[in-house]
Amino acid sequence: MNKKHIVLAALLSVTSLVASAAEAPKLSLHRNNIKVWTYQTENNPVFQYKAETTFDVPLERAVAVVLDVERTPQWVPYVAKAQLLSRDEKKGEFTLYMLLDFPFPLKDRDVVIKGKMIKNADGSITIKNSTVKNNYPEQPDVIRLTQYTGDWTFQRLANNRVKVMTSGYADPAGSIPLSFVNMFVQQQPYQMLIKMKKEIYNPLYAQPHLPDLLK
């Protein structure tokens, strides 16, 4: 089984069959303290996912991993490049560029994302990501994605324990064989959280620095 095929299917939660009605989230995978649900909505035929797990680290350390954009390729499967284009810590906003490595013969994809950091009333932290129009140069033979959302929520369970939840979907554009999609759509968030579990103990995040609005 080609791992790139799994990521191709799941990283972007690719379109499969148009659902005639909204589907309730289905628990597709529960392993290694990670749960992944997949579902479709009535107004969006693109497969969507949500996933959750817990880490035995402070909330701030988990958030710092996700906000460290340049290291995203180290733990998000098959992200070839991630570049921070702008960040306004006072407003809690940032813009980033990602290049996604798709297996031959499919074309690679890229996306420009607008992010928003939020400190919620209950002390949890949410990061909301979605596509944004941007003049970042388009590359030959790379398809620019225009429909994507991907959110993170971090909930403190104890001083050294955090619940991490992530959800998202994307329209991958172009023609994607359905054989890459249905069976493996839950694998990307699972693999991502498995890799995050290792990244989170990187000494880089021993003393995490977060924007003031998240403190």
Mean pLDDT split into 10-residue runs, the chain, 215 residues: 46 38 76 91 71 97 97 94 94 95 82 96 97 90 89 96 92 62 66 96 94 91
Residue 174: count of CB within 10 angstroms of its CB: 11
In angstroms, the CA 94 to CA 140 distance is 26
86 residue type, one letter: S
Q: What is the pLDDT of residue 14?
A: 39
The count of C-alpha atoms lying within 13 angstroms of the C-alpha of 141, restricted to the half-sphere facing its C-beta, is 6
> Among residues 26, 3, 63, 29, which one has the least CA distance to residue 189?
29
Domain 3-214, second-level architecture: 2-Layer Sandwich (3.30)
C-alpha closest to that of 200 among 29, 35, 6, 58: 58
- What's the confidence (pLDDT) of residue 6? 41
H-only helix segments in 12-138 = 59-67
Query: How many angstroms separate the CA atoms of 41 and 26, rounded?
Result: 12
Give this prediction's pTM.
0.84
Per-residue confidence (pLDDT) for residue 18, from 0 to 100 = 36
Written as six digits, the tokens of 42 are 């009535």
pLDDT of 15 reads: 38
Say which residues have a Cβ less than 8 Å from residue 36's Cβ, sequence separation at least 6. 27, 28, 29, 30, 49, 50, 51, 186, 189, 190
Residue of 100, 108, 98 lying closest to 142 (CA atoms)? 108
User: Which residues are CB-neighbours of 88 under 8 A, at least 6 positions away?
Assistant: 94
Residue 107: the pLDDT is: 83
In degrees and rounded to multiples of 5, residue 121 shows phi and psi of -60, -30
pLDDT at residue 43, as a whole number: 63
